[in-house]
Chains A and B, each alone.
Chain A
Amino acid sequence: MVQSKKERMSGNEAVAHAIKQINPDVMPAFPITPSTEIPQFVSNMIANGEIDTEFIPVESEHSSMSAAIGAEAAGARTLTATSSCGLAFMWEVLYVAASNRLPIMMEVVNRALSGPININAEHSDSMGARDSGWLQIYAENNQEVYDNTIQAYRIAEHADVKLPIMICQDGFITSHAVENIELLPTNAVKDFVGTYEPEHYLLKEDETMAIGPYAISPYCMEAKRAQAQGMINAKKVILQVAEEFEKLSGRKYGFYEGYELDDADFVLVAIGSVCGTIKDAIDELRSKGKKVGLLKVRVFRPFPGEEFAKALKTAKAIAIMDRCEGYNANGGPLGAELTTALYKEKAQAEVVNIIYGLSGRDVKTEDICRVYEKLEKLSQGTDEFGPYPYLGLRSNESADRI
C-alpha cells in the first residue's frame, strides 16, 4: 500500500487530477454543464505543460465521440467528458465505439435530459445509454470517482473486455461539492494504469487495418455475440482490478457496497450521491433498533444481477431507487433489471420501485426514513406506496407521493 495524500477537492477536480496522473494521449471534448470543468482543467494542464495530452476542441459532442473513436482506433489512449444532452447527442456513435471494441473512457457527470431543460443531477442520461455496449461504473462521492477513473482503463483495455467505459458521478452534488479526498502518488497511478499497447490499430507501422465494415447477416450476429462476451468477461476483470487497487490504496471496491446490509430486513438499493444520505438515515434508524440497510450499486454495466440478488436474499422488503424516469408506466431501469434478478434468485422480499431526485430534487434523511417506515409496513401487509411511487414530489395530486 502506498501513502495517500489528503486533499480537498470537487468531483470534477478529482477526475481532472486522475487524468493528469494518467496523462492519456487524446481528449476531444465539448462543454456542457456540469461536466465543462473537466475539459477546462485538462486544457489548463496542457497549457501549463503539466501533461502532453492532445486536446481536440470539437464543435459538438457528436464529433467528440466520433473523434474519440478515430483516435482510439488509431492507437491512442483516449477519453472525453460529457453530461445530459451531450451524451444523448452521442447516442448513435456510442454503439460504434462499443462494437468496434474501442476502450475509450468517458467521464459522465450525470444530469437530467431535456425537457424542461434542467442542469441538475439525474441518471436519465447514462441510463438512456445503458444498452449501448459501454461499461458503467457509478460513484457516491469525489473519492470514488477518482478511484474509478484510475481503475477504468485497466478494465476497459483488458484483452478479455475491450469495451468503452463510462465513469459516472452526480452533477453538482458530487461534481462541484468540495469534500475531503485521498490522492495516490502519481508514479503509483502510472504504474497501476500502465501503458496502452493495443494489438491492432490504424497507425501500426508494420500492418494495415480496416475498421467499421458493412457486415451482412451471416457475419453480423457473431460479431454481436462476441461483443456480449466482452461484457460478460468484464465482471471478472472489474473484481480483479478492484482487488489490485485495494492493495495499492487500501480502498475496497466491488460490484456494490453493502451498508448495514448483512442482517437488514428493510433495504434500499440506490446509485450515486443519495447513498450518503441513505447511510445517515440508516445510522439514525439503527440507533432506534431498526434493521435497515443499503445496497449501493457501483457497477451497472455489466449488470451483476445475480450478486445483487444474492446479497438481498434475506431481506423482507426492498425499495429500489431510480433517479431516472422510465416513461414506460412500469418504473425505472434499476427497478426493472433488479426485480428480474430477484425473481431469478427466488427472493421472497416485497419489492417496490421508487422514482426520486429527478432534475436535482433534494432528498433528505427524513425522506429516506419515511421510505424505510413504509417498507416495514409493506412487509407486514400494508402497502402505503401505491402503484407508482415518487419520493419528494411537491404536488398533492399524486396518490403515490411519498
Chain B
Amino acid sequence: MQTKNTFDFKEIQGREERLAPGHRMCAGCGGTIAVRNVLKALHPGDKAVIGNATGCLEVSSFMYPYTAYEDSYIHNAFENAGATLSGVETAYKALKKKGKITEEYKFITFGGDGGTYDIGLQSLSGAMERGHDMVYVCYDNGAYMNTGVQRSSATPMYADTTTTPTGKQSDGKPQRRKDLAGVIAAHNIPYVAQTTFIGNMKDLYTKSEKAIYTPGAAFLNILAPCPRGWKYDSPEIIEICKLSVETCYWPLFEVIEGKWQLSYMPKKKLPIEDFLNKQGRFKHLFKPENAYLIQAFQEEVDRRWEELLVRCNA
C-alpha cells in the first residue's frame, strides 16, 4: 500500500479540488463534505473514475450541461452503482491487458443510504464479493433525502420521517437500523471502515486513503448528516458528528482483512440524549411521557457498542 504515514492537514486541504464548486447541493450538506474529502485522499496526479448512484448528490452535481467532477464520472441508475463501477473497473483490466491504456486509474463510487443499504444492496454485495479493485462509499444520512425524507433501513429507531411520521399511534420509525458495515465486513473483503467528520477530517482522510490504495474491494460508511432531514441548524453539523461518536451511536472502526479494530475509544461515553436532542427528528422523544423511548434507544446503542468492543477485542 502506498499510503503516507503522516497526516499533513494543510497539504491535504491545499490539494486541488476534485469536486468543483458551483454544484447545487444544499449549504451544509454532509454528502458533499464526504465526497470532497474522500476525493482529497486521491494522491495528486492519480487518475480516477467516479461512480454515483441516483440521489441528491447525482442530480445536484451533474446537471446537464455541467459536471462538478474533475475526473471521469458515471451515473447509471439508483440501485446499481456497485455493478456499474464493477463494469468500468473490468473494462480497465481488459483494455490494460490489450495495451490500450497505460496509466493507473482508481475507481470510487458514491451512494446514499437509499442506494446502498436498500435498493442497491444486491448490486453492492455482488461487486464486493467479486473483489473488484474499487471503493464503494456510502454517505449515510439515514433516510431517502432526495425524495423528501422517507425512512430507510439506515434510519435510526424512533426517527420522525415522512413515511414513519410521529402521531397518536406512532413514535417514529419502529425498527432498529441495519448494521451495513457489518454486513459488508461479512463479505470478507480487504478493507471496511466506518467514519464521519471529526478531528479535522483525519479519520476520514486516513480511511479513504487506505480504502483507495488497498488492492481489491473496499467499503466506507460515512455518517453524513442532512440538515433538512435531521432538522438541525446547518453550522451544528460538526458538533453533531462529534456527538455521534462520543455517544457511541456511530463508532469509528476498521475491518482490515477480517480483523476488527476500534479507531477511537471515547474517554467518557456520553448519554445518547446529547446526540438526539440536537435534532428535530427526535423532538418527540423529549416529551416527559416518552422517557422510556430514550431509555430503549440507549439500550440499543449500548448493546451494539458492547458487541463492537467484543469484535474489536478492545
Contact = CB atoms under 8 A, between A and B. Distances in A.
Interface of A: 25-26, 28, 52-54, 56-60, 62-64, 66-76, 78, 92-93, 96, 202-203, 205, 208-216, 219
B126 interface: yes
Nearest to A93: B77
Contacts of B123: 59-60, 62-63, 66
B129 interface: yes
Contact of A70 (B67, B69, B76, B95): B76
Contact of B65 (A59, A64, A73, A219): A219
B293 interface: no
Contact of A60 (B49, B74, B98, B126): B126
Contacts of B64: 213-216, 219
B91 A62 contact: no
Nearest to A220: B64
Nearest to A92: B77
Contacts of A214: 58-59, 62-64
B99 to A, nearest CB: 11
A203 B92 contact: yes
14 contacts: A28-B87, A54-B93, A58-B83, A59-B122, A62-B83, A63-B126, A70-B87, A75-B95, A76-B90, A212-B74, A213-B62, A213-B65, A214-B59, A215-B64
B102 interface: yes
A93 B76 contact: yes
Nearest to B65: A219
Contact of B72 (A57, A72, A210): A210
Interface string B69-105: 1111111110110111111111111110110111101
A75 B91 contact: yes
A66 B83 contact: yes
A211 B91 contact: no
A59 B126 contact: yes
Given A26-B90, A56-B86, A63-B80, A70 B74 contact: yes
A64 B86 CA distance: 10
Interface residues of B, number: 49
Contacts of A78: 87, 91
Given A59-B122, A78-B87, 4 more contacts: A71-B90, A74-B91, A93-B77, A216-B64
Q: Top 8 closest A-B pairs, CB basis?
A: A70-B87, A67-B87, A59-B126, A74-B91, A212-B75, A63-B83, A76-B91, A66-B80
Given A67-B86, A73-B88, A210 B67 contact: yes
Given A25-B95, A26-B94, A67-B87, A96 B77 contact: yes
B204 to A, nearest CB: 24
B126 A71 contact: no
B188 interface: no
Interface in B166-180: none
Contacts of A215: 63-64
A56 B89 CA distance: 11
Contacts of A67: 83-84, 86-87, 90
